[in-house]
A and B are shown apart, each in its own frame.
Chain A
Amino acid sequence: MSPSGWCLASGFDPLYKGWDGETLLYDQFSGDTHVVDDLCMAIIELLAKGCLSEEQILKKIVQYIDVDPGIDFDPVVQQRLAALVKLNILQCPT
């Protein structure tokens, strides 16, 4: 039953409130508190619905966020994914 693709870390149980593109987020499981930007929040809200592959994330993320055309989106998302894993918010594909 090991999850496939990118998932929210097991146990991750967030409360959050956002202002002007920044969100203050509290994980009731770990007790850690974070400030994250909109793209991170979009990823978190997206994965809250279930695990996704990187391709799926890149495809669906635009439903959560307006992206200006003409900027290379993928590396920025990958960067966020890696960072959120380090914070025990996401877990890597297994």
Chain B
Amino acid sequence: MMARPLLSEVLINPDRVTGLSLQQWDLLIRQARHADLLARLAYLLAGHNDLPEPAQSHLDSAWAFAQRQAQSVRYEVANIKKALSDLDIPVVLLKGAAYVMAGLPAAPGRLLSDIDILVPKQRMEAVENALLLYGWRTTHHDEYDQKYYRQWMHEIPPMKHGVRGAVIDVHHAILPPTARLKPDSSKMLATAVALAGQMEICTFTPVDMILHSATHLFHEGELEHGLRDLVDLDALLRHFGTQNGFWEQLIERAVTLDLTRPLYYALRYTAQMVATPIPSFAVKAVARLGRPPAALLWLMDFLFERALRPDHVSCDDRYTALARWMLYIRSHYLRMPFHLLFPHLIRKAFKSHKGSTSLAEPTVAKE
């Protein structure tokens, strides 16, 4: 196994920073910035006084940014509520926005680039119109993209507010209908819990939150935020893991939702990369249920050990680029059968060759 990057060591044990040389601080800040964890690092180091001034100023900067983002989330959620309240349907906040609004320990310093929500599939059109009425706009006018999203994806094209510029991703499921895994998102929607003082605005139950985060990271995402999402999982597991019966519920729910494989990866790599404490009975049970065949596991270790490191040159080895590329292909392959996938990837390759950017391409939610 590769040596842990400095950032991971500090995430595991913040006291590791005492006695770092300026040169090491320089490296730590760069790794954290590239992993989108600079503000999280600022939060974890809040207790440490007299950090070297140049490092402190980068930490303060990222922290200020994260604080403002959290406020933007609160304001956006209020606006989403305003736009959707007439529909009276449950609106489930996903990932970052959920952590912020629920005030979970995963929230402080968590950077996010958009707000993801999950709504009942049969009301998608009503939701889209309501958002249009309150100033959001469809981002992809390319007919191919529109068709791709609406036919194959579990979300409509991202909508961007015309004045504030905030982006919202509206999902009707946590995975595309064509995906290998078939979790029943309506089951998760059914048990969603309303936020205090908010009728329609909900979050998943703790176990569903974790299973969704794991699924997104290991079966959907393209891992550009790999380590950050792993840190989310770490924070959620540490927080809820102390509650009575939590691990039993988590495993049972994973079976119900057909998500034992992503759960296995989640427990394996949080423990491996950021030393998340997991009771051994849970490790054994999940291994029995979700452990892939040895050869596949060896490959996954090879890929994730690299892709879950900070996306910074100081953390790469000669195979990192290959690993990220293979996982990128995998994320698409897990999303749809090859005969659908190939034409799409070829088109994407062609488009990005023309200098098009992720915003102009149908990819799974960036957040």
Query: Is B75 an interface position by the 8 A CB rule?
Result: yes
1/0 per residue, CB under 8 A from B, across A19-46: the answer is 0000000001111000000000000000
Chain B residues contacting A30 (CB-CB under 8 Å) are 75
Please determine whether A31 and B71 come into contact, CB atoms closer than 8 angstroms: yes
A3 at the interface (CB under 8 A from B): no
Q: Are B71 and A28 in contact (CB under 8 A)?
A: yes
Q: Answer yes or no: A11 CB below 8 A from chain B CBs.
A: yes
User: Once bound together, how far apart are the Cα atoms of A88 and B71, in whole Å?
Assistant: 17
Instruction: Classify chain A's interface size.
Output: under 10
Contact yes or no, A31 B72, CB < 8 A = yes
Which of B68, B72, B75, B78 has the largest number of chain A CB atoms within 10 A?
Answer: B75
Q: Tell me the residues in window 68-90 of chain B with beta carbons closer than 8 Å to chain A beta carbons.
A: 68, 71-72, 74-75, 78
Which residues of chain B have C-beta atoms less than 8 A from A29's C-beta? 71, 74-75, 78
User: Which residues of A sit under 8 angstroms from B75, Cβ to Cβ?
Assistant: 11, 29-31
Q: How large is the interface on B (under 10, 10 to 19, 20 to 34, 35 or more residues)?
A: under 10
B74 to chain A, nearest CB (A): 8
Interface 1/0 per residue, B43-84 and A, CB below 8 Å: 000000000000000000000000010011011001000000
Q: How far is the CA of A3 from the CA of B72 in the complex (A)?
A: 25
Assembled-state Cα–Cα distance A10/B72 (Å): 15
A58–B72 CA distance with the chains assembled, in angstroms: 35
Smallest CB gap from B82: residue in A? A10
Residues B71 and A11 in contact, CB atoms below 8 Å apart: no
B78 and A11 form a contact (CB under 8 A): yes
Identify the closest chain A residue to B72 (Cβ).
A31
Whole-angstrom distance between the Cβ of B303 and the nearest chain A Cβ: 41
Q: Which residues of A contact B72 (CB under 8 A)?
A: 31
Q: Name B313-333 residues within 8 Å CB distance of A.
A: none
Residues of chain B within 8 A of A10, CB atoms compared:
78
Report Cα–Cα, A55/B78, bound state, in Å. 30
Give complex CA distance A29, B78 in Å.
Answer: 10
Bound complex: CA of A30 vs CA of B75, how far in Å? Answer: 6
CB distance from B69 to the nearest CB of A (A): 11
- Kindly identify, within residues 254 to 277 of chain B, every residue whose CB is under 8 Å from any CB belonging to chain A: none
- CB B310 to nearest CB in A, in angstroms, measures 30
Q: How far is the CA of A11 from the CA of B72 in the complex (A)?
A: 13
Separation in Å of the B150 CB from the closest CB of chain A? 32
Q: How far is the CA of A10 from the CA of B75 in the complex (A)?
A: 11
- Report how far A73 CA is from B187 CA in the complex, Å: 59
Chain B residues in 8 Å Cβ range of A31: 68, 71-72, 75
**A80 CA / B286 CA spacing, docked (Å):** 63
Distance of B135 from chain A, by nearest CB (Å): 12
Chain A residues with Cβ under 8 A from B74's Cβ? 29
Taken together as a complex, chains A and B put the C-alpha atoms of A30 and B78 apart, in Å, by 10
Chain B residues with CB under 8 Å of A28's CB are 71
- Expressed in whole angstroms, the minimum distance between the Cβ of A79 and any Cβ of chain B is 23
Residues of B within 8 A of A (CB): 68, 71-72, 74-75, 78
Q: Which 10 A-B pairs have the closest CB atoms?
A: A30-B75, A11-B78, A29-B75, A31-B75, A31-B71, A31-B72, A28-B71, A11-B75, A29-B74, A29-B78
**10 extra interface residue pairs, beta carbon distance < 8 Å, beyond A29-B74, A29-B75, A31-B72:** A10-B78, A11-B75, A11-B78, A28-B71, A29-B71, A29-B78, A30-B75, A31-B68, A31-B71, A31-B75
A-B contact pairs, 7 of them (CB 8 A): A11-B75, A28-B71, A29-B71, A29-B74, A29-B78, A30-B75, A31-B71
